[in-house]
């Protein structure tokens, strides 16, 4: 464990992590991700101007998409993540759950990336989110989302421990995959320099589904599946991919 003589407090996912999320994710190339999103979106749409990120987190992807010239806005269910996003981004950013978020106008593209859909606990929530994206989009608009796959959990994140320190905090991250419940569990202990007497503990549960299960859920909506890509490529996504990007058209 990280420290002795400090009190452990259990808090909601991302409530303590938010402040150091960008440090924890500094290995992620959001510019590359934004370029990839633009590439696969342009492949399937002639008109792409406005984008809403349904799980924008601290706004890193929104920032890159904005720099590519798109009109961007974002929401996220974590108020703490939104607080950071608002500091980074001059764009409409609000707190909302992707299962029933409303938008002021109908965007050309909705995105939900970096495992965010894996957080949806059950099929009902998945269908709610898919149908909600459909309802907010313009006619012929796209919904692009990704999933982290079973292959990724079984082979890459089966057991993983990380300890890091930033200027603000020290954290411990332990990951394991519960095969019976198909849950990827990421457990964090975070201790901020400003409150060394407390260790914040967060347990993140991601439901890991087969690509086939996702395809089955998409079939239950009015969306047309126009793309299913492996990782950051244009190769077809499969159960062997670590990450799959889906492109749905209204
Ligand atoms: C791994 S983070 C990814 C954040 C961001 N997309 C990025 O690339 O950095 C997952 C995000 O999904 C958000 N999230 C989880 N469930 C959500 C829901 N039902 N509605 C909206 N956001 C949700 C979390 O609050 C968190 O910010």
- CB of 57 closer than 6 angstroms to any ligand 1 atom: yes
Please tell me the total count of domains within the chain: 1
- pLDDT for 162 equals 93
Residues in the chain: 250
The confidence band for 159, taking pLDDT boundaries of 50, 70 and 90, is: confident
User: What integer pLDDT is reported at residue 5 of this predicted model?
Assistant: 80
Please tell me the distance between residue 4's alpha carbon and the centre of ligand 1 in angstroms: 31
For the chain, percent of residues with pLDDT exceeding 90 = 95
Q: Tokens 């929104």 map to which residue? A: 62
Cα(234)–Cα(250) distance, rounded to whole angstroms?
A: 21
Answer yes or no: is the C-beta of 61 below 6 A from any ligand 1 atom: yes
User: If you average pLDDT over every residue of the chain, what do you get?
Assistant: 96
55 lines ligand 1 (CB under 6 A): yes
> CATH number of the domain that 190 lies in?
3.40.50.150
pLDDT of residue 4: 59
Q: Tell me what pLDDT residue 11 has.
A: 98
Average pLDDT, integer, range 28-34: 98
What pLDDT is recorded for position 138? 97
Nearest to 110 by CA among 86, 132, 78, 85: 132
Q: Indicate if ligand 1 lies below 6 Å from the C-beta of 146.
A: no
Per residue in 122-141, pLDDT (tens digit) is 999 999 999 999 999 999 99
Whether residue 1 is predicted with pLDDT greater than 90 in this model: the reply is no
pTM comes to: 0.96
- Å from CA of 102 to ligand 1 middle: 16
The more confident residue out of 33 and 155 is: 33
Per-residue confidence band for 147, with pLDDT thresholds at 50, 70 and 90: very high
pLDDT at 3 over 70: no
Nearest Cα residue to 204 out of 230, 176, 179? 176
* For the CA of 55, the nearest atom of ligand 1: 22
Q: What distance in angstroms lies between residue 57's CA and the mean position of ligand 1's atoms?
A: 5
- Residues 61-102 pLDDT 10s: 999 999 999 999 999 999 999 999 999 999 999 999 999 999
What is the domain range of residue 148? 5-250
User: Probe ligand 1: pick from 57, 118, 120, 145, max atoms within 8 Å of CB?
Assistant: 57
Cα atoms in the Cβ-side hemisphere of radius 13 Å centred on 45: 29
80 lines ligand 1 (CB under 6 A): no
């Amino acid at each position: 464990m990280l420290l002795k003589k400090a009190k452990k407090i259990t808090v909601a996912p991302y409530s303590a992590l938010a402040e150091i999320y960008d440090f924890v994710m500094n290995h992620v190339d959001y510019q590359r991700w934004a370029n990839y999103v633009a590439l696969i979106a342009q492949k399937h749409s002639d008109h792409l101007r406005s984008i809403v990120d349904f799980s924008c987190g601290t706004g890193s992807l929104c920032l890159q998409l904005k720099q590519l010239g798109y009109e961007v806005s974002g929401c996220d269910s974590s108020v703490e993540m939104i607080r950071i996003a608002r500091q980074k981004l001059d764009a409409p950013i609000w707190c909302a759950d992707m299962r029933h978020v409303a938008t002021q106008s109908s965007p050309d593209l909705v995105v939900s990336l970096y495992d965010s859909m894996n957080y949806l606990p059950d099929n009902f929530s998945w269908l709610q989110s898919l149908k909600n994206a459909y309802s907010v989009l313009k006619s012929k608009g796209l919904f692009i989302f990704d999933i982290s796959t079973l292959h990724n959990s079984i082979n890459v994140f089966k057991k993983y421990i990380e300890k890091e320190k930033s200027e603000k905090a020290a954290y411990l991250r332990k990951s394991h995959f519960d095969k019976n419940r198909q849950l990827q569990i990421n457990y964090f202990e975070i201790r901020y320099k400003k409150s060394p007497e407390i260790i914040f503990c967060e347990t993140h549960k991601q439901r890991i589904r087969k690509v086939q299960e996702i395809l089955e859920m998409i079939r239950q909506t009015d969306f047309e599946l126009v793309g299913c890509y492996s990782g950051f490529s244009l190769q077809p996504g499969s159960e062997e991919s670590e990450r799959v990007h889906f492109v749905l058209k209204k």
